[in-house]
């Protein structure tokens, strides 16, 4: 927050490298997050995007929403493509084929492309220490294909492949802790962010981009279509996810944890859940179970911050 | 003057990639290809090759990293085999469709299950339609020469396509042969620097890999087909130029003692050299047999095949892959279909043999020829013959 804390909006560039006119749903939290992320990244970047909502809404031939160099190839290989670009640029500069300069490689992918199908490629790229920033835009399911569950889908959420039914509460597994997996690779920078906290988000993306070596930023991106809420609630839901402790905003810099927003008392999870159709079916018992889990996880995070 | 050096063919391929001054190698170990990438790693570690070596965590990522490097404008090389090629499968289509001229040596290997690290062409046939230029080499010298040609062909601005060089796993990769290596200065002249027309760079932002709705997808595919077909001319020019420079000549279909032959055998890959021995023996006995060796697999050389077959009455095709439940081997199917519309055409008899490292000896090739002639005269109740399997 250092840079943006005072008089913030005036400091933010007006330039949109993720151009308006794309095909995202009304109220898309992910498109908002991408737009914000592109501001601090500036123009000296190459963006690699996985197959998914962002790719589909921004690149339909013969149009493009990208005012920076951009490549999409497949679903699960984003981090591998990024490592190829990064290594390619580095050696071409070393051999004097292209001018020596700072060009940041930034990978962007959804939660499925990150925590499910692309996890191996991401793990490999982080382990090899490529100088790149990986941003996961997490809308907690395979939204592009019609709201199927992923390993990032929260417990109790009803999706098209974890539907709530007479004998099921919907998703029966807990959300995979992707930032912790990234941090376990001992990379220099890991952070969580949310477009409801735009300056914090831009600050973290800027930090991640400036970090030499691998950096990972995990951005919760509320999805009106998949979570089933009114499209004017996107920003509010992001705030509630943070204020309930369901999605805390924190950083791990060289192994040191920092909680960016702490609350003396967390709001009850129902404040967040009751606004979303995907949780509508849940009984009080299940909600209590979720509340206990959130309390426990939040306490664990506070321990790490100490 | 070029020197002749005794060297394992795998290492020779790495040396050829070094002569081509590759910028990026992204590779994952798999038998029988490992010696190629091991040697490249060694060359980089010793400072003999100034390249980025990316030791990726899978073949899928190997080819993906190659896409990225090539899109950034780097000359890119990798090698794989069998299961590795299968794991790369979907990425291969992207390399050709996005016109990224990656060069890859494939140490042809059988596919699981049961696991077999030994050679055949099952892996090749599974990637037949991926849009890559694909050529087969039969010995170490051809491998070295064609790695150099592959860069020149693939990176030609008229082509911009990835190239696979197929060589038989073990039967060729692990042979030690006396090979000629051209001088660095000759290679530098032969392969101009790679210049992607629109590389990823902030100075000139491009969108690569946009998605295509039905209104435009098909047009991109037709353009790709036209481009691959047109690449044949560039391949021929490259081989011609290579021949004039280095005095070793290559063509899409190589003919061996095929003139006036009534019976022709057609093979692909290093088994061709064994087949030649058999042909020599049969010719010595006064039999009118000859050999065709298919070098250029994609784009398929239709005209050259028709011309090479000439007036032969019987054409016996040996495949080293099975199309389960299908018409036999893919090579036989394609050759047969290339000849079908000809007014005068030979009887085309298909054999499948040499799977999973099973050898075919010169005597075996004689047997194949004899049996092929017999089928051409008496017919058969089989669509194709399987050769060399214990009953």
What whole-number distance in Å separates Cα of residue A204 and Cα of residue A217?
A: 7
Note whether B327 and B190 are same-domain residues: no
What whole-number distance in Å separates Cα of residue B127 and Cα of residue B63?
A: 14
- The answer to whether A140 touches A154, Cβ cutoff 8 Å, is yes
Note whether B193 and B324 are same-domain residues: no
Query: CA-nearest residue of chain A to B62?
Result: A80
Q: Residues for chain A: how many in total?
A: 306
B9-19 and B34-45 are packed helices; what angle lies between their axes, rounded to 10 degrees? 50
Note whether B234 and B318 are same-domain residues: no
For residue B341, the tally of other CB atoms under 10 A from its CB is: 9
pLDDT in tens, chain A (306 residues): 555 556 667 889 999 999 999 999 999 999 999 999 999 999 999 999 999 999 999 999 999 999 999 999 999 999 999 999 999 999 999 999 999 999 999 999 999 999 999 999 999 999 999 999 999 999 999 999 999 999 999 999 999 999 999 999 999 999 999 999 999 999 999 999 999 999 999 999 999 999 999 999 999 999 999 999 999 999 999 999 999 999 999 999 999 999 999 998 999 999 999 999 999 999 999 999 999 999 999 999 999 998
Is A8 within the bounds of a domain? no
Is B391 within the bounds of a domain? no
- The answer to whether B161 touches B102, Cβ cutoff 8 Å, is no
Say yes or no for a CB contact (<8 Å) between B64 and A74.
yes
What whole-number distance in Å separates Cα of residue A233 and Cα of residue B245?
A: 70
Residue A218's DSSP bridge partners are: A136, A192
What whole-number distance in Å separates Cα of residue A93 and Cα of residue A99?
A: 6
Say yes or no for a CB contact (<8 Å) between A121 and B61.
yes
Please tell me whether the peptide bond between A62 and the residue prior to it is cis, using omega within 30 degrees of 0.
yes
For an interface test with A, the pick among B200, B204, B206 (most A C-beta atoms closer than 10 Å) comes out as B200
Using DSSP, state whether B181 is helix, strand or coil: strand
Note whether B88 and B113 are same-domain residues: yes
- Rounded to the nearest angstrom, the minimum Cα separation between B66 and chain A is 6
Buried b (16+ CB within 10 A) or exposed e, B102-128: bbbbbbbbbbeeeebbbbbbbbbbbbb
Last residue of a domain, one of B246, B274, B301: B246
In this structure, what CATH number is given to the domain that contains residue A29?
3.40.50.970
Is B313 within the bounds of a domain? yes
| Cβ-Cβ contacts under 8 Å for A256 (sequence gap 6 or more) | none
Query: CA-nearest residue of chain B to A88?
Result: B69
Residues of chain B positioned with their CB less than 8 A from the CB of A54: none
Number of independent structural domains in chain B: 2
Say yes or no for a CB contact (<8 Å) between B56 and A45.
no
| Cβ-Cβ contacts under 8 Å for A184 (sequence gap 6 or more) | none
Residue B164's DSSP bridge partners are: B104, B134
Q: How far apart are the first and last CA of chain B?
A: 54
What whole-number distance in Å separates Cα of residue B75 and Cα of residue B193?
A: 8
| Cβ-Cβ contacts under 8 Å for B362 (sequence gap 6 or more) | B274, B275, B277, B278, B281
Q: Residues for chain B: how many in total?
A: 391
pLDDT tens-digit map of B21-55:
999 999 999 999 999 999 999 999 999 999 999 99
Which tokens go with A295? 């309390």
Residues of chain A positioned with their CB less than 8 A from the CB of B27: none
Note whether B263 and B201 are same-domain residues: no
Is B308 within the bounds of a domain? yes
Last residue of a domain, one of B214, B246, B278: B246
- The answer to whether A148 touches A172, Cβ cutoff 8 Å, is no
In this structure, what CATH number is given to the domain that contains residue B194?
3.40.50.970
Say yes or no for a CB contact (<8 Å) between B202 and A69.
yes
A114, A14, A124, A126: which is closest to A54 by C-alpha?
A: A114
Last residue of a domain, one of B246, B267, B289: B246
Number of independent structural domains in chain A: 1
Q: How far apart are the first and last CA of chain A?
A: 20
What whole-number distance in Å separates Cα of residue B288 and Cα of residue B262?
A: 6
Note whether B100 and B129 are same-domain residues: yes
Full domain range(s) for residue A42: 13-305
Note whether B111 and B147 are same-domain residues: yes
Is B347 within the bounds of a domain? yes
Q: Give the start-end residues of each E strand in B153-288.
A: 163-168, 176-181, 207-208, 253-256, 263-267
pLDDT in tens, chain B (391 residues): 567 999 999 999 999 999 999 999 999 999 999 999 999 999 999 999 999 999 999 999 999 999 999 999 999 999 999 999 999 999 999 999 999 999 999 999 999 999 999 999 999 999 999 999 999 999 999 999 999 999 999 999 999 999 999 999 999 999 999 999 999 999 999 999 999 999 999 999 999 999 999 999 999 999 999 999 999 999 999 999 999 999 999 999 999 999 999 999 999 999 999 999 999 999 999 999 999 999 999 999 999 999 999 999 999 999 999 999 998 899 999 999 999 999 999 999 999 999 999 999 999 999 999 999 999 999 999 999 999 999 8
Is B95 within the bounds of a domain? yes
Note whether B224 and B294 are same-domain residues: no
Full domain range(s) for residue B87: 3-246
Is A7 within the bounds of a domain? no
Nearest to A92 among B60, B72, B90 (CB): B72
In this structure, what CATH number is given to the domain that contains residue B349?
3.40.50.920
A19-23 contacts: CB < 8 A, separation 24 or more? A19/A65, A19/A66, A19/A67, A20/A65, A21/A63, A21/A65, A22/A57, A22/A58, A22/A65, A23/A56, A23/A57, A23/A58, A23/A60
- The answer to whether A45 touches A208, Cβ cutoff 8 Å, is no
- Rounded to the nearest angstrom, the minimum Cα separation between B335 and chain A is 34
- The answer to whether B199 touches B71, Cβ cutoff 8 Å, is yes
Note whether B274 and B339 are same-domain residues: yes
Note whether B240 and B263 are same-domain residues: no
Is B83 within the bounds of a domain? yes
pTM: 0.97
- Rounded to the nearest angstrom, the minimum Cα separation between B25 and chain A is 9
Is A287 within the bounds of a domain? yes
Is B192 within the bounds of a domain? yes
Note whether B50 and B138 are same-domain residues: yes
For an interface test with B, the pick among A69, A86, A107 (most B C-beta atoms closer than 10 Å) comes out as A69
Query: CA-nearest residue of chain A to B194?
Result: A97
Note whether B310 and B366 are same-domain residues: yes
């Amino acid at each position: 927050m250092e840079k943006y804390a005072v008089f913030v909006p005036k400091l933010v560039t007006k330039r949109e490298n993720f151009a308006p006119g794309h095909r995202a749903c009304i109220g898309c939290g992910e498109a908002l997050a991408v737009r914000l992320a592109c501001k601090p990244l500036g123009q000296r970047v190459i963006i690699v995007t996985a197959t998914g909502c962002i790719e589909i809404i921004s690149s339909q031939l013969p149009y493009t929403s990208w005012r920076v160099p951009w490549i999409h190839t497949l679903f699960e290989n984003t981090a591998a493509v990024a490592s190829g670009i990064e290594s390619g640029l580095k050696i071409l500069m070393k051999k004097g084929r292209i001018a020596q300069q700072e060009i940041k490689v930034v990978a962007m992918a959804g939660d499925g492309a990150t925590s499910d199908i692309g996890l191996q490629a991401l793990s490999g790229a982080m382990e090899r220490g490529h100088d790149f920033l990986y941003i996961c835009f997490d809308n907690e399911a395979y939204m592009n294909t019609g709201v199927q569950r992923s390993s990032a889908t929260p417990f109790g959420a009803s999706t098209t492949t974890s539907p709530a039914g007479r004998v099921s509460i919907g998703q029966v597994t807990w959300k995979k802790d992707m930032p912790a997996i990234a941090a376990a690779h001992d990379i220099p920078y890991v952070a969580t962010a949310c477009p409801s906290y735009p300056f914090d988000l831009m600050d973290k993306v800027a930090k991640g981009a400036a970090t030499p070596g691998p950096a990972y930023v995990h951005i919760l991106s509320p999805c009106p279509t998949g979570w089933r809420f009114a499209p004017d609630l996107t920003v509010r839901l992001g705030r509630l996810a943070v204020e309930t402790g369901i999605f805390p905003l924190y950083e791990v810099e060289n192994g040191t944890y920092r909680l960016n927003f702490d609350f003396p008392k967390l709001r009850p999870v129902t404040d967040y859940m009751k606004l979303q159709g995907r949780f509508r079916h849940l009984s009080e018992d299940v909600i209590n179970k979720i509340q206990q889990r959130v309390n426990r996880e939040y306490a664990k995070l506070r321990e790490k911050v100490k | 003057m070029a020197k002749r050096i005794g060297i394992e063919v795998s290492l020779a391929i790495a040396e050829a990639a070094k002569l081509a001054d590759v910028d990026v190698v992204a590779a994952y170990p798999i038998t029988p290809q490992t010696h190629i990438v091991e040697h490249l790693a060694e060359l980089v570690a010793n400072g003999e090759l100034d390249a980025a070596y990316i030791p990726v965590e899978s073949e899928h990522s190997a080819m993906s990293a190659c896409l990225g490097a090539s899109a950034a404008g780097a000359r890119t090389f990798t090698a794989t085999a069998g299961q590795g090629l299968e794991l790369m499968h979907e990425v291969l289509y992207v390399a050709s469709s996005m016109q990224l001229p990656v060069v890859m040596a494939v140490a042809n290997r059988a596919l699981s299950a049961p696991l077999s690290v030994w050679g055949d062409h099952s892996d090749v046939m599974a990637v037949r339609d991926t849009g890559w230029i694909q050529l087969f080499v039969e010995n170490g010298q051809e491998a070295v020469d064609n790695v150099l040609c592959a860069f020149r062909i693939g990176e030609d601005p008229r082509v911009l396509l990835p190239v696979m060089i197929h060589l038989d796993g073990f039967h060729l990769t692990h042979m030690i042969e006396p090979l000629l290596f051209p001088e660095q200065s000759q290679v530098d002249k032969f392969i101009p620097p790679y210049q992607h027309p629109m590389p990823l760079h902030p100075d000139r932002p491009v969108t690569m890999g946009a998605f295509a709705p039905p209104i435009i997808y098909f047009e991109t595919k037709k353009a790709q087909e036209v481009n691959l077909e047109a690449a044949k001319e560039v391949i021929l020019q490259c081989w011609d130029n290579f021949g004039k420079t280095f005095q070793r000549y290559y063509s899409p279909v190589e003919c061996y003692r095929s003139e006036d032959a009534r019976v022709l055998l057609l093979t692909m890959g290093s088994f061709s050299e064994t087949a030649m021995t058999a042909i020599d023996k049969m010719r010595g006995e006064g039999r009118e047999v000859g050999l065709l060796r298919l070098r250029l697999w994609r784009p398929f050389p239709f005209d050259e095949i028709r011309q090479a077959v000439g007036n032969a009455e019987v054409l016996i095709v040996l495949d080293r892959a099975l199309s389960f439940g299908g018409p036999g081997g893919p090579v036989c199917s394609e050759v047969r279909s290339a000849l079908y519309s000809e007014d005068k055409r030979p009887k085309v008899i298909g054999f499948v043999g040499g799977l999973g490292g099973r050898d075919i000896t010169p005597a075996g090739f004689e047997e194949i020829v004899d049996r092929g002639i017999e089928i051409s005269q008496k017919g058969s109740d089989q669509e194709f013959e399987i050769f060399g399997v214990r009953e």
